[in-house]
């Protein structure tokens, strides 16, 4: 039986994206996403629990993140868990868990992310479209022959 590695998160960015342009020409963006769960404990007190997630976006997604996402932006993310393990300089085993984003959707308005709606911001209709990991061009040739 094959396994499933899928993560779905909705949260707010804790800081602006950190974008790197690699020598190979690839672009990678690292983001920190906060998800907050609110519930009442046994005594009826309201409790908030915030989890922080490290996200990694590549190529087109990274470019979109660099252009439109800012600290406080709310996004919906679909991805998979990736774990890096290494030994630090002192010989200690280290481990870091991150989410490799496969698609994301910008939620809310750009103003909700701490930015104004001027300066080439996407319309709210564009903001709600998911941003896939890679465009699917497999049907482009077939679509050209359609009469409409």
Q: What is the DSSP string of 63-114?
A: HHHHHH--TT-EEEEEEEEEEEEEE-TTS-EEEEEEEEEEEEEEES-GGGGT
CB 60 within 8 A of CB 102: no
Q: Report pLDDT for 117.
A: 39
Is the domain 7-39+46-133 a CATH 1.10.490.10 member? no
Residue 55: which of 29, 85, 84, 74 has the closest Cα? 29
Domain edges within the chain: 7-39+46-133
Q: What is the pLDDT of residues 86-103, one digit of tens each?
A: 999 999 999 999 999 999
8-state DSSP, 129: S
Q: Report pLDDT for 1.
A: 78
Q: Distance (Å, rounded) from C-alpha 27 to C-alpha 24?
A: 9
- The ranges of the chain with pLDDT < 70 are 109-148
Name the percent of the chain lying above pLDDT 70: 73
3-state secondary structure of 132: strand
């Amino acid at each position: 039986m094959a396994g499933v590695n899928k993560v779905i998160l909705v949260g707010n960015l804790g800081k602006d994206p950190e974008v790197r342009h690699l020598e190979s020409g690839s672009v990678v963006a690292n983001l920190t996403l906060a998800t907050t769960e609110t519930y009442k404990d046994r005594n009826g007190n309201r409790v908030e629990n915030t989890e922080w997630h490290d996200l990694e976006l590549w190529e087109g997604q990274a470019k979109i993140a660099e252009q439109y996402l800012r600290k406080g932006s709310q996004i919906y993310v679909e991805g998979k868990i990736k774990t890096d393990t290494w030994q630090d300089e002192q010989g200690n085993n280290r481990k870091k868990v991150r989410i490799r984003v496969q698609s994301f959707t910008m939620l809310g308005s750009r103003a909700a992310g701490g930015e104004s709606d001027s300066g080439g911001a996407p319309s709210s209709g564009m903001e709600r479209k998911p941003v896939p990991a890679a465009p699917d061009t497999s049907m482009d040739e077939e679509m050209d022959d359609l009469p409409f």
